Structure 1
Amino acid sequence: MRDARMSPNSAEVTALRALAWVVTDQDRATRFLTATGCDSDTLRRRAGEAEILGAVLDFLLDDEASLLAFADEVNLPAQSVALARFALPGAMPR
């Protein structure tokens, strides 16, 4: 079996797409902000930082319904989110 990995650049793109998807729905955005303790101004200012990108992927990975909805909407395999998370700093080792 081939070892599936994602480049850090691809992981950042996936995470930015996920962040854009999360904030397009008020309920989801509120749940994300509550889960992270972040406010909307901080989120806008720090959107491209690894900590925020990792948090948005963790948010999706913690909620299967959201994960599957995101993957379906952007036409990505759901496992791409996990691969992206492992490619970014702060991921738990496999």
Structure 2
Amino acid sequence: MSKAGKHLYRDCRGLTIRNDPEPKSQDKSELALAALGWVLIDPDRAQRFLDLTGLTPDGLRAAIGDEATHRGVFEFLAAYEPDLVAAAAALGVAPETIVRAHQEFGA
């Protein structure tokens, strides 16, 4: 495997996450869905997300493509710095990228 491809993907608790240093033009919705995947890996964090958003598991499934859900994921992460930093590290982006996406959704 080439050196460039060697670190393209990494394993994060059984979830393979693309390991780009910083996405050049990553779609905000794509980032939101990846961040949601990270949130849902941990049962306690997933329950906290559901509790704070008022969503049920079925409601989340039904609304997974909605902009409001994506905004909620970013808001959830931006509100608690330890999760923001950990999610950013797992997704291979700077925390500022998530905060910027949150601000853009709010605009």
TM-score of the aligned structures, taking structure 2 as reference length: 0.73
Runs of 4+ in 1 over 2 A off after TM superposition: none
For these two proteins, the number of residue pairs brought into alignment is: 84
| Alignment root-mean-square deviation, CA | 1.6
Q: What residue ranges of structure 2 are gaps of 5+ in the alignment?
A: 1-23
Between 77-86 and 51-60, report the one with greater CA deviation: 77-86
Task: Decide which of 27, 32, 36 is 1:15's aligned counterpart.
Answer: 32
Deviation at 1:87, TM superposition (A): 2.4
Q: What residue ranges of structure 1 are gaps of 5+ in the alignment?
A: 1-5
Q: Which residue of 2 aligns with 1:25?
A: 42
Deviation at 1:85, TM superposition (A): 1.4
Q: Which residue of 1 aligns with 2:15?
A: none
Tell whether 2:73 aligns with 1:56. yes
TM-score of the aligned structures, taking structure 1 as reference length: 0.82
User: How many percent identity over aligned positions?
Assistant: 33
Larger Rg: 2
Q: Which residue of 2 aligns with 1:71?
A: 88
CA distance in 2, matches of 1:73, 1:23: 13
SS in 2 for 1:68: helix
CA contact (8 A) 1:11 1:83 kept: no
